[in-house]
Structure formats: structure tokens, C-alpha cells
Amino acid sequence: MCVRVTDMRGVDLNIYHFDYDLTFAALLMNADGEIYHTFGGRDGHDAESHLTIPSMVRVLKAGLTSHMKYAKNPKKRAARKPVRIEQIFDGAPPKKCFHCHNVHDTRARTAGRKRERQHFWPYPDPIQIGIALDTQNPPAITTVAPSSSSARAKLAPGDQIVAANGQPVLTFGDFQRALHAIPDGGGTLELSFIRGDQTMRARLSLKRRWKVADPATYAWRAMKWNRWPKPGFGGKPLTVAEKQTLGLKTEGLAFRVRYIVTWGRYSKTGQRAAAAGIRRGDIVYAVDGENDFADMSHYHSWFRLKRKVGDVVTYSVLRKGQRRQVKLRLERD
């Protein structure tokens, strides 16, 4: 059974496990809830980076084999009470439908209140353990970062991953699902892989906070919006020509403030930004001296991952041709 969901309303979250931030994910699963394979996944730059036709063909062909193998030795499953997005959503329900990312959004807000950090790092990119996988043939390792846990385990480019902690790996999503199950507090990853004509094994010891991603890797996730601290305002990046006209460096990010959040549940964040001196139309060209951001999503990700509640952030602002510094203390409602 291949499952496609467009509205999460009514979906049992105890059965349908996947990365809810993705644009597209497909589950190959048994009617009793056993997930054979997950097709989907992306890197920090392209929503379709791992949605290739060759990799989809491979997993669809293999799905029948996985199903037949499972049928010979099915698992006994204890009954679990269904959990649905409608039950855990803590805001005003959407008028049309619950999007997939609403699941991570809700869990991120809950995790923030309970300080459960592990819920902020779902379905880690394999880059977190120091490897990159081939987009056309996902089980194949293309690069291994020096000094990473994968390098210490003697993994090498060209190795073909077969299983991770006993879970068969055919796709990028399969590997992420295995990583997702390992706590952020640390754990062990047992890999089976093929090198040449030999099947080999590797054991990776993952340290505490191994799931913590850098801002660029994390920037694409919608759940970042529910992390604290929040700047309380945002805007539109300037073009190179606009930066040149204003006498700003063309490298890095500069943006014009288009909105200040004075509405909804986070209205106090915008009120504090306005009280600190931020105005619509201001040009922000650095934050604590930093402007090496690829885009606004990267900036918002950096802000939430690299700054904390209680910090005082200094914005370098251009207003009516005059440069000034605006200091904003980050607080939480």
C-alpha cells in the first residue's frame, strides 16, 4: 500500500510516521501499519533533491519483495489509542485543512514549553553523522566528512548501505527514519553495508546533541517559526542593485522591514521590536555584525538557533540614508 496524504485531519499519528515538514513523502506499508520503506527527503537547498525517478522506481520494485518477506513473519502489534492532529493542535484550527507541517509545528511549541529539545530535530539529515548519500542511488555514500562519527567508523565513499539498526535501507527516507529513532542525547547506529563484493558492518557512537543542525541545514523547516527567540519582524531581501544604490556591501543579506508582528499569539514580539526602535521601511544590513545569510529563511533559522532568550541583539540599520544601531532584548511571552 502506497499512502499519500493531503490533509492530516483524521490521520492516526501513531501509524503514519514520516517527516511532516516535507513537500512530498510516500510510505510503502502493510495494512497492519508496518512501514517497509519511506520515499522522500531533501537537503537544505532543494525540496526535490532526493525525489528522483530512478530512486522511486527502485523502491517501488523492492516494495513487493519487502511485503512478501514480511508476510512470512508478520509482527504482533499491541493496540494503541489513535493520536490525531486535531487532538494535540494548540491553536485555532485551520479553516480548510491541517497541513502536514502543522504536526511538527504543534510538537515544536509543546517541546518548547516542556524544554524537550529532542523534538526540535526530527528526521536528521545524514550530514549530521558526516555522510552524504547519492540522490540517484540513495544507499550509496558519496562523501564522508573528516573527523566525523562516520569517518571514525571507517565508512568510505562508494559504500552501499544495506541496513541501519536492523532497518532495511533503500531510500534517503529509510535512512532518516533510522536516525530519527536515535535520541538526541546520544546512542548507537549499527550499519550493514556493501563494499566491493563484501558485506561489512560498522558501529557509530553518536554523542549527546548529535542531532543539532547548523542554521543553513535547518532553514528549510517550517517548524523553525515556532522556536524561540523570535525577532518580531521581517521583510524582503534587497537585490544587488539596490544594495549598490544604498552604498551597502553587495555580499551577504540586507533586507527592508516590511512587517512588524503586532497581531496574533506573538504580537508582543513585534511590540518589543517597535519599542526598541525598529520601523517599517528600515534597511537591516547586519545582526550582531553578521550578514552571511543565503536568504531570509537562513536568517530566521540562525536567529533562533544562535541567539537565546535574554540576549541583547544589535541590528545595523539604514534609515533615510542614516546608519544607526538598534538594540533589542530578546524575551519570551
Show the cell assigned to 90.
494548540
More confident residue, 243 or 96: 243
pLDDT of 227 higher than 80:
yes
Task: Give 127's pLDDT tier (boundaries 50, 70, 90).
Answer: very high
Q: What is d(CA 223, CA 46) in angstroms, rounded to the nearest whole number?
A: 17
Residue 5's pLDDT is 56
The pLDDT assigned to 76 comes to 82
The angle at the Cα of 141, spanning 138 to 145, to the nearest 5 degrees, equals: 135
Tell me the three cell numbers of residue 25.
513523502
What is the structure's pLDDT at 118? 62
Closest CA relative to residue 242, chosen from 254, 252, 233, 234: 254
Domain assignments of the chain as residue spans, ordered by start: 2-120, 126-206, 228-329
What is the CATH architecture assignment of 228-329?
Roll (2.30)
Residues 6+ apart with CB under 8 A from 154: 202
Q: Grid cell 515538514 — which residue?
A: 21
Its pTM surpasses 0.85:
yes
* Distance (Å) of CA 260 to CA 167, 180, 241, 275, 332: 47, 35, 25, 11, 16
> What pLDDT shows up at residue 78?
82
Would you say residue 181 has pLDDT above 70? Answer: yes
* Fold designation for 126-206: Pdz3 Domain (2.30.42)
pLDDT digit string (tens) for 204-213?
A: 999 999 999 9
C-beta atoms surrounding 267 within 10 Å:
14
pLDDT at 331: 93
* Reported confidence tier of residue 116, pLDDT bands at 50, 70, 90: low
Model confidence pLDDT, tens digit, residues 139-161: 999 999 999 999 999 999 999 99
CA distances (Å), origin 162, targets 23, 257, 272, 285: 26, 49, 52, 47
Evaluate whether 43 touches 21 at the Cβ level (below 8 Å): no
What is residue 333's predicted lDDT score, i.e. its pLDDT?
Answer: 75
Q: pLDDT, tens digit, for every residue of 72-104?
A: 988 888 888 998 998 888 777 777 788 888 888
Q: Which residue has better confidence, 25 or 333?
A: 25
Q: Is 115 a residue whose pLDDT tops 80? A: no
Q: How many residues does the chain have?
A: 333
pLDDT > 70: what percent of the chain?
95
pLDDT of residue 223: 87
pLDDT for 112 beyond 80: no
CA 15 to chain centre: 21
> In this predicted structure, what is the pLDDT of residue 304?
95
Give the per-residue pLDDT at 113. 54
Judge contact between 269 and 232, C-beta under 8 A.
yes
Task: Using the predicted structure, report yes or no on whether residue 171 has a pLDDT greater than 60.
Answer: yes
32-64 tens-digit pLDDT = 889 999 999 998 888 999 998 988 998 999 888
